[in-house]
Amino acid sequence: MSRVPVICVDGPSGAGKGTLSLQLARSLDWHLLDSGALYRVIGHACWSQGIDWQDEAAVVRMTRGLDVRFEPVGDGVAVWLEGQEVSREIRSERGSRGASAVAALPGVRIALLNRQRALAQSPGLVADGRDMGTVVFPDAPLKIFLTATAEARAQRRQAQLMEKGESVSLPRLLDAINERDLSDSGRSVSPLVAAEDAVRIDSSELSADAVHERVLELAAERGIKARAPN
Ligand code: DC
């Protein structure tokens, strides 16, 4: 497997993985893999091409030929599917449902393995997901399992949606988070579990900056270095 250093950031939805991964990729000057966005794009592509999320053979066929591109922008990553920007669509509640449905298909996960591993390029990769440390990059030198209470996660999700002008009630978001946790942890392939060698961090009471600092300390302790400035 690749010798390029990888920091895995796994955990349930809304624990702050996306923010942490982006901060790490910036401060280390590393590449970033948002694997959830891959599942979201697949769910979205199924919806727009009229493919049933449960039709595994058809979803796998589409996944193999998927033309998806990630492009760093100001405060995140823009996602392009077949030449069309879909960053906003894939983050909707429908996008989340589709992602969770296709992520439960074993063939889809297998079809995405090489695509994800190919992103481990010099000087390093921050990989954000659910199975980064357990399946995709089992040899990674640093694995973080980031958690937070369901309530804290629902509140953060509500704030994110409100920023985008979408309003969803807290109880509904809490239900959706609990339902998604259950499906992500209960599925037979790559269920959401912490790798044995992962460091667990509970972000419920921590600021994003405090979590980022803690992970940079862990990286330094393990001899993982940021690229020297030019
Ligand atoms: O991280 P996210 O909310 O964007 O992920 C969207 C969905 O994809 C979520 O239901 C979990 C699933 N997922 C997964 O099964 N494996 C990954 N490595 C990343 C996400």
Tens digit of each residue's pLDDT (9 = 90 or more) over 205-224? 999 999 999 999 999 999 98
Tell me how far apart the terminal alpha carbons of the chain are, to the nearest angstrom: 29
Cα–Cα dist 126/28, whole Å: 9
- Ligand 1 centroid to Cα of residue 96, in Å, is 8
- Tell me 170's DSSP state: H
Which domains can be identified in the chain, with CATH numbers? 1-30+124-230 (3.40.50.300), 32-122 (3.40.50.300)
CA of 99 to the centre of ligand 1 (A): 6
Question: Is the beta carbon of 104 within 6 A of some atom in ligand 1?
Answer: no
Calculate the alpha carbon distances from 78 to 99, 156, 160, 179 in Å. 17, 21, 16, 27
Average pLDDT over residues 123-146: 96
Best residue for ligand 1 mutational test, from 22, 33, 35 (most atoms within 8 Å of Cβ): 35
pLDDT tens string 80-111:
999 999 999 998 888 888 998 999 899 999 99
Nearest residue to 5 via CA among 173, 124, 112 = 124
The helix (run of H) or strand (run of E) holding residue 143 is strand 142-147
pLDDT surpassing 80 at residue 75: no
Q: Which atom of ligand 1 is nearest to the CA of 18?
A: 1
The whole-model pTM stands at 0.91
pLDDT band for position 142 (50/70/90)?
A: very high
Whether ligand 1 lies within 6 angstroms of the CB of 99 is answered as yes
Q: How far is the centre of ligand 1, averaged over its atoms, from the C-alpha of 106 (Å)?
A: 14
Specify the pLDDT at position 85.
95
Q: Is the dihedral of CA 86, 91, 92, 94 positive or negative?
A: positive
pLDDT for position 229: 52
Report the relative pairing of strands 84-85 and 76-81 from DSSP bridges: antiparallel
Overall average pLDDT of the 131-159 stretch: 95
Share of the chain above pLDDT 90, in %: 73
Is it the case that residue 149 has pLDDT exceeding 80?
yes
Q: How far apart are CA 86 and CA 134, in angstroms?
A: 29
